[in-house]
Amino acid sequence: MKKIVSLFLIILFIISCDNTTVKKETIKRKPNSFAIVIHGGAGGIKREYFTKEQQEAYTQKLHEALDAGYKVLENGGISLNAVEAAINVMENSPLFNAGKGAVYNSEGNQEMDAAIMDGKTLNAGAVAGVNHIKNPILAARIVMDSSKHVLLSGKGAEIMAKKYGIEMVDSSYFFTQKRLNQLRKIQGKEKTQLDHTAFLIKNELIDDHKFGTVGAVAIDKNGNIAAGTSTGGMTNKKFGRIGDVPLIGAGTYANNLTCGISATGTGEYFIRTVASHDVSSLIQYKNLSPKEALHTVLFKKIGELGGEGGMILIDKNGDVYWDFNSTGMFRGYKKSTGESKVAMFEQTN
């Protein structure tokens, strides 16, 4: 009888502990709290590569993007709209490799990709290989909201965007002398290099100093997470090349059960490791912390394959994380608690 009583007490204790754990977890995110985190690319971003004026320009633009997304959340808007607002700011700036600042492919044209995902419904939309859509992230949202598809490419994506009133521009809108100079420099040196592929990879890091893909992740007052990413890809990429950004689970992913993620870097490696979804899965099924999951994927998977880049993350509790295996990443966050930060270079947390 004593053994039965003891066993019963042990079972009650275990159940009590389990209930306590659940309660702690469900109340961790304060009601009506919200947050947004952004990135503007990762890579060989070192202090010596930037003048004081350039650092100030990037810092100002990152703050502007954060404020645009934060304002949506503060006014009760949904996380999807906040992500769009933040990314729009960076797409409209020549500082980043997205929209206005998109790099040139090997044919001397821009081919842009973008994706957005809703963590509540797991609905997602993406466009790839577009070159007349001013803000590709808006077109990705149209694909998500107004079609039964997830990914549209090229002419089909542009026809749909135009149908729904997304602003279209002539390809000359995307011209920047800096990006053209980068293409010419790489192509000029390629001609004298025996191993073209190895040289291109090396030169992409040296000449461009960064991967300027932009992204944002937000959690709104209702606790819903959204993630979005936009990019011009790699300088001198082959015509028709598509990277990780529009491939859901590779460069972009959101799930209210775990987190939202946006990635930047050498896209082929993020595709091969299904990087963003892998981070989410490590949190959900292996009970890793977001910090541990990011580090595992970036350093032990992507890094060991030879890939480079970074990722930003907001978890279901509204906590912000980022990590990168490169020398720097343009990044920042802003929370309803009043806490905010913008950084460019080496890891600071």
Residues tagged active-site: 213
Q: Is 273 labelled as part of a ligand binding site?
A: no
Q: What share of residues in the chain are helix, strand, coil (percent, to 5)?
A: 45, 20, 35
SS3 call for 266: coil
Q: Is 265 labelled as part of a ligand binding site?
A: yes
Separation between Cα atoms, residue 125 and residue 144, nearest integer Å: 4
Residue 337: exposure state from Cβ atoms within 10 A (0-12, 13-18, ≥19): exposed
Q: Is 241 labelled as part of a ligand binding site?
A: yes
Residue 157: exposure state from Cβ atoms within 10 A (0-12, 13-18, ≥19): buried
Q: Is 129 labelled as part of a ligand binding site?
A: no
Q: Is 231 labelled as part of a ligand binding site?
A: no
**Structure tokens belonging to residue 69:** 């997304």
**End-to-end CA separation in angstroms for the chain:** 55
Contact 341, 333 (CB under 8 A): yes
Q: Is 244 labelled as part of a ligand binding site?
A: yes
Separation between Cα atoms, residue 35 and residue 70, nearest integer Å: 7
Q: Is 29 labelled as part of a ligand binding site?
A: no
Place of tokens 């050498």: 266
Among candidate residues 261, 339, 299, the one with its CA nearest the CA of residue 39: 261
Residues making up the annotated binding site for substrate are: 241-244, 264-267
Binding-site members are 241-244, 264-267
